[in-house]
Structures are given as structure tokens and as C-alpha cells.
Amino acid sequence: MEPGMDKTASGWLNGFVGVLIFAGSLPATRVAVMDFDPVFLTSARAAIAGLLGLAMLLLFRQKRPERGDLLSLVIVALGVVVGFPLLTALALKHVTSAHSIIFIGLLPLATAIFGVLRGGDRPRPAFWLFSSIGSGLVASFALTQGISASPVGDGLMLAAVIVCGLGYAEGAALSRRLGGWQVICWALVLSLPIMLVLTFATLPPSFAGIGPHAWIGLGYVSLFSMLIGFVFWYRGLAQGGIAAVGQLQLLQPFFGLALAATLLHEKVSPLMIVVTLGVVACVFGAKKFAR
């Protein structure tokens, strides 16, 4: 196998691991916001991950990013450290995690678009067809199932998808220079002072009423969703291409729905499964024409 093919295969494998980890994010957030305030949850997860990221950077003696990389790191921080976690936490006050997971099917298209704008990707025309079909299935499902029930929740999820797609693409492009885990760690460290202040400012008056499941949810989104998942995800995007590997996110609703049904006992309708299977099928077509 040629070195380039090895790198591409490694990119898809790293991306797949990242998607598996991210699949638990919304169910874990849903559990956590039952007892925690969304703003506290957002700042606390970022603060915990930021302290761990700072320790990693110091332990491995990583040099500071160049001044020209700071704007990209700010975009990453606003997109995936603050924007997506906060918007999804707020959305999950209005919709179930099973419903919100469907919106994640829009992330590949958002990531691919920003990959072209910010990362220099140039997928073939047929790629956009498959990516659009998958996103269209997701949007159609949302229109038929949830818009009338909670337009606020759906609007927040749509905004979360947009800022997350930008953060993914920007971070992946930056990973080619800094490395995957270094990018998310520096973005977390950059936002750490603000997140620490917000965490202490929004502390619950008492932790007596916080259940164990909420603590587990906070632990998961802090350690896995905010840090470990990105180590694999950014590396995968940088190796295999932002638009190409980004299509693996089409698999995330499938894993997320399974978790929502098994762990949270939320109802997963037959239509949800049909839509998810259709979306999953699109990833294979998009993969074929990504380059």
C-alpha cells in the first residue's frame, strides 16, 4: 500500500473513533442539563478540559503557536469549545437528545462547506450531491417531526451545527501545522480564563440535588467530548481530508440514537431509523467522490 493510501486509511480510522466518542455527547449533555444550568455545564466542561489540555501541553513541552495561528485558534474556541456546547445545552432544554441527534446529520455538509472556504478542499461535484441528499433527509425529518413542537430548540441546534462545522474545518486545517491534539488543547487553554470565571460565577447554590447521572454526563462531555474525541477527530480530518472524513458524521446519528434509546429510554420512531439509514447510505457515495 502506498504511503498516501496509508495516511488516508489512518485518517478514516481516526475520524471513525472520533465520531464514536462524539455520539455520546448529546445524550450525556441531555442527562447533565437535567440538574445543571446550561451555562454552568458549558463553562465547567471547557474549564475541566482546559486544565487537562494545559497539563498535556506542559508535560510534552509543546511550543506556543505562531501569532498568525491565534485567529484560527479563536475561531476553533468559539466554534467547538463555547458555541456548540452552549447552543446544544440550551437546545436540550426544549428537545430530546434523540431529536437533536438528527440535526448532527447536517454537520458533514457544514464541515465540507467550511472545508472548501477555510481548508482548501476541492471535492468532486458528485460529492456535493450525496452530501446534500443526506442533509436533505435530515432537514425533512426535522420539518415533519419537530419544528412545530419546538422551533426554539431546532433553531438552537441549527446554529450549533453551523458554528461547529466552522470549528471543525478551521481546526482541521490548523492541525496540519500544529497537530490534532495540540489544536484542541491550545483552543481550550485560550478560552480557559473566561471559562474558569464563568464556572465559578454560575456555580449551583448547592450540589445536594445533583444526581449521579448528571455528574457522569458532566464527566463524559468534559473528558471525552471536549478533549479525547477531538484528538482523534482533528487528526482524522487532517490526514484524510476535511470534506471526505467529515462525511463520517453521517454515521453519528445512528450511534447517538442507539445510545438515546438504550441509556435514556427515549423513544426512537421508525421514521428516525429510516432517515438515519438513508443518511448513512449517503456517506458511502460521498466518500467515493470526495477527492
User: Residues 26, 92: contact at Cβ < 8 Å?
Assistant: yes
Average pLDDT over residues 19-38: 93
Residue with cell 497539563: 55
Is 159 exposed, middle or buried, given 0-12, 13-18 or 19+ CB atoms closer than 10 A? middle
Question: What proportion of the chain, given as a percentage, has pLDDT over 90?
Answer: 55
Of 137, 140, 119, residue with least CA distance to 129: 137
The whole-number pLDDT of residue 290 equals 67
Residue 164 backbone phi and psi in degrees, to 5:
-70, -40
C-alpha cell recorded at residue 144? 415533519
| pLDDT level of residue 224 (50, 70, 90 thresholds) | very high
pTM of the model: 0.88
Rounded CA-CA distance 247/270 in Å is 23
Domain ranges of the chain: 3-288
Q: Calculate the CA 198 to chain-centre distance.
A: 22
Report the amino acid identity of residue 161.
V
- The dihedral over CA atoms of 204, 208, 213, 218, expressed in degrees to the nearest 10, equals 30
Cα atoms found within 13 Å of the Cα of residue 259, Cβ hemisphere only: 23
87-106: pLDDT as tens digits:
999 998 888 877 787 788 78
For position 2, what pLDDT does the model report? 47
Residue-level pLDDT at 1 = 43
Q: What are phi and psi of 272, to 5 degrees?
A: -60, -45
Three-state SS for 96? coil
Contact (Cβ atoms closer than 8 angstroms) between residue 268 and residue 222: no
